[in-house]
Amino acid sequence: MSTPFQEELRLELSLTSGGQSFSIPGGQVKHLSARMDSHGFSASVTFWTTMEKKDAPLFTAFQKPDLIQVRLAVTAVQPDLESPPTPLVLQGLVRSRRLVAETHGALKDEARVFRRYTVEFADAAQVLWRQHRPTELHTDMSMAEVLEAHKATLQLSLDWATLKRKQPLFCLALGSDAPGVSFYDFVLWYVDTHQGVFSYDNQKDQYLLTDSKPASGQAAALSPLPVHSVRVLVPPPIRHGTRVLNALAEAPTTVALEHAQAVAGVSHDVLLRTPLASRAEQRQKQEKARLQVRQRQFQVAFKRFPPMDVFPGALLRMEGSLWSAGMTGLDEDLRVRTLELDAHAEDEGQHDAQNTPSTNYQARLSLQLEAASEPVVALPAYRAPRYPIHVEGLVHSPGGEPEDRRYLISEDEKTSIHSFRMTVPLWNKTVSVLAEPIHFPGQFFFPPYKNTRVLVALHHERAELLRFVDWKEGVRPPQDGQGDQILLGQNKKSQTALTHDFQEDKPVWRMLRTSGGDTQVVRMSEGHLFIQVKESEATAPPTPTYDVSPQVQAAKGDLTASVGESIGLTSTAYQAAMGTTRAKMKSAQTETKAALGGARAEVGAKVAEAKSTLKGASARLDQGTGQLAAAAAAAKASLEKLR
């Protein structure tokens, strides 16, 4: 921060609670502290009220637990400016509040007091989303839809193709299983891992989620007159490379991502296990973006309020002949990243500046600037959500009766990946998991049957079958005996049971096949082999049927996945095209700025040369004039002698 300087500030402060709005004259504000970043702000303000009754409306509202909205506008009183800058506007919600009262005495037999109020407030996302910790499961839903469902009172602008891409599975895991992780953390984590931009427009009280920083806007010229000091901040370079490892047994890959500042042998490794090359490539792209080196920044401290917009996102340009020639950052477009303001009223008493809109403050003001072309996004610190969470599910296999032991394996036509379907009753959502042997070796094929209770691990955008949590009906042997049993088949009327138990402490093995009224039994016990084939005449043979429901459901799932993937590919292609276009535009802007800078330098050199020539000519003219004057004086003296 800079050294304090005196400045007359006009403050417009209003508080709204429970439908009531209270305006506080600016002169009664005795202290203001604010830090404004590109992603939000935090601030505190202290003010005295005029003499109040014990039950004054503001005092009554202040004691209630209702949400308090704060709006504060700060303007420097600079009457000599024809076009004053836009006021600094802070609109947020109260985090904490304090109150001190000083008794003034009785007026008309009723006690009056001065009250000193202090409120600490921040932008709405920090206040609300940091206390929001949902645990939800969604299917066929986009991040944009999730944000809209959880935005509360926030205003959002979503201009990012990634947000609008629907995901087959979308899990929020922010409840008690992830202590300390809020929805605010989740949004920052999502933006960071997908290389997006999360910013806050303090003038509109609006949050923007975009794929890149804004590249438009005219930079305002910053003179050194209001500047106290300028410091150059050089960020530490990244000394590690990155390796993305895909741990597939059949096709393992290791992709090294290097950059110029990396030290050989120093690496951050990222481990994956995915059969989809597109996911591995997407992760490589993400990690490559993390290796971008941040450009230098500038810390500018002021000795008075500057006469231009300085809120986060505003563009400035240090230019003019008053700056030192060759100064770092001169004639570059710079974006305001952070603003810090601290102001104490010179007259802090409760009687001072009552009902006046402005007063004198001892203020400190500083900015942190970054290059307008800086691609690296600055986000606040966050806690990454912890995945997976574990929930119970039921194996989903359409068709047949509820007690039938059916299974369904779906195949993705594009990736050839096979999957099972699991219904999670808690949210009544059906998700896909990889069709794998789970805990069996590869020579066993025991797929999970319909309505079997299973434990499912839910990750952010995928699910995993962990284990089974119960036996199917009729599989478990009676409680009064010891034995093992395997039950194969569709239902009680069409199945094969393999049983090994103990009778009179001797092992007995039995195989029972049932198909309607047709049964076959093979039984082996001590000294006996029993084989029986039996068909009951009372039971009619079952009518052969063929249920196509599983195939229909599988086809629907494949179609949905195909459409979602096509949309995703289209969005990705669009985003890539837009990224290329923006890169070309930025390159063209850089070249144009360089050309303008060169032209400016060339024009300046020619102007300097012309000035030098004019000065030389003027000097010669002055010399000639002097000589002429001397000659005239000599001639005049000679004439005088002749007279």
Least confident of 330-334, 449-453, 489-493, 566-570: 566-570
CA distance 398 to 70: 55
**pLDDT of 177 higher than 80:** no
Q: What angle do CA 421, 422, 425 make, to 5 degrees?
A: 150
Q: Give the residue carrying structure tokens 């299917």.
A: 139
Give pTM, 2 decimals: 0.82
Among candidates 304, 364, 378, 388, which has minimal Cα distance to 336? Answer: 378
Residue 546's pLDDT is 45
Quick one: pLDDT band at residue 430, thresholds 50, 70, 90? very high
Amino acid identity, residue 87?
A: P
**pLDDT of 65 higher than 70:** yes
Cα 50 to Cα 27, 353, 500, 539, distances in angstroms:
11, 10, 90, 96
Residue 610's pLDDT is 62
Among candidates 156, 150, 107, which has minimal Cα distance to 131? Answer: 150
Average pLDDT, the chain: 85
Looking at residues 550-572, what average pLDDT do you find? 52
Q: Which is it for strands 253-257 and 241-246: parallel, antiparallel or unpaired?
A: antiparallel
Among candidates 286, 336, 284, which has minimal Cα distance to 306? Answer: 336
Give the H/E segment covering residue 457: strand 453-458
Looking at residues 47-68, what average pLDDT do you find? 85
Greatest mean pLDDT among 143-147, 193-197, 598-602: 143-147
Amino acid identity, residue 194?
A: H
Indicate the SS3 state at residue 516: coil
Greatest mean pLDDT among 282-296, 519-533, 554-568, 623-637: 519-533
Residue with more model confidence, 562 or 254: 254
**pLDDT of 591 higher than 70:** no
Among candidates 540, 520, 539, which has minimal Cα distance to 530? Answer: 520
* 407, 397 Cβ separation under 8 angstroms: yes
**pLDDT of 552 higher than 60:** no
Residues 6-35: pLDDT tens digits?
A: 999 999 999 999 899 999 999 999 999 999
Residue 368 sits at φ, ψ, to 5 deg, of -115, 125
CA distance 254 to 271: 9
**pLDDT of 316 higher than 50:** yes
* 554, 410 Cβ separation under 8 angstroms: yes
**pLDDT of 571 higher than 60:** no
DSSP 376: P
Reply yes or no: is the peptide bond before residue 388 cis, omega within 30 of 0.
yes
Residue with more model confidence, 608 or 75: 75
Q: Give the residue carrying structure tokens 């009531």.
A: 20
* Helix segments in 123-245, DSSP class H: 124, 143-149, 183-193
The burial class, CB within 10 Å (0-12 / 13-18 / 19+), for 200 is buried
Among candidates 41, 113, 49, 107, which has minimal Cα distance to 72? Answer: 41
Residue with more model confidence, 549 or 170: 170
Q: What angle do CA 331, 334, 337 make, to 5 degrees?
A: 160
Quick one: pLDDT band at residue 321, thresholds 50, 70, 90? confident
Residues 238-280: pLDDT tens digits?
A: 999 999 999 999 889 999 998 888 899 999 999 999 888 888 9
Residue 119's pLDDT is 96
Q: Give the residue carrying structure tokens 């009902």.
A: 355
CA distance 563 to 263: 44
**pLDDT of 522 higher than 60:** yes
* 489, 496 Cβ separation under 8 angstroms: yes
Looking at residues 276-296, what average pLDDT do you find? 88
DSSP 216: -
**pLDDT of 413 higher than 60:** yes
**pLDDT of 88 higher than 80:** yes
Residue 588's pLDDT is 58
CA distance 320 to 147: 45
CA distance 112 to 276: 74
The CA radius of gyration of the chain, in Å to the nearest whole number, is 38
CA distance 119 to 414: 57
Residue with more model confidence, 354 or 10: 10
**pLDDT of 544 higher than 50:** no
Q: What does 506-555 look like in DSSP terms, one character per residue?
A: EEEEEEEEEETTEEEEEEEETTEEEEEEEE-TTSPPPPP----HHHHHHH
Quick one: pLDDT band at residue 497, thresholds 50, 70, 90? very high
Greatest mean pLDDT among 126-140, 280-294, 561-575: 126-140
**404 half-sphere exposure, CB direction, 13 A CA radius:** 14
What's the distance, CA 502 to chain centroid?
62
Through-space distance between the first and last CA atoms of the chain, rounded to whole angstroms: 81
CA distance 56 to 104: 15
